[in-house]
Amino acid sequence: MARKPDHLQGSLDLLILKSLEYRPNHGFGITLHIETVSEGLLNVEEGSLYPALHRLERDGLIAGEWKVTENQRRARVYSITRDGKKRLAEATDNWKNVNRGVARMLRFSE
């Protein structure tokens, strides 16, 4: 069994928040958005998406609401809350720092 990276949970949260910051969306929409924007590099594991959404909602970072889509389909649409935006800003900063650090390290050893 392949080992799942331990930080998956954390990064999925980050991706969801980022996607919802762009616009409110339903679960499938978020999946598509992430895949499209990352040009297929990131693949959302659909099974993990809904628990993550519900957890974020419980923690007050996003809010969900049943709505009817353009295709006349009832779907639960999520939007980012103020707390969610704050968390996103923090996480983005941290992530950039880590990335920058890792990138420097990688450059150094090349």
**Rg, Å, the chain Cα set:** 16
Q: In what order do the strands lie in the sheet with 25-26?
A: 25-26, 74-80, 62-68
Handedness of CA 12, 86, 66, 38 (dihedral sign): negative
33 binds another protein (CB under 8 A): no
Write down the least CB distance from residue 81 to another protein, Å.
15
90 binds another protein (CB under 8 A): yes
Binding-residue pattern over the window 35 to 74 for another protein, x denoting contact by CB under 8 A: ----------xxxx-xx--xx--xx-------------xx
Give the distance, in angstroms, between the CA of residue 77 and the centroid of all CA atoms in the same chain.
Answer: 14
Q: Is 1:30 a contact under the CB 8 Å cutoff?
A: no
Give the interface with another protein as residue ranges (CB under 8 A): 3, 6-7, 10-11, 13-14, 26-28, 31-32, 45-48, 50-51, 54-55, 58-59, 73-76, 87, 90-91, 94-95, 97-98, 109
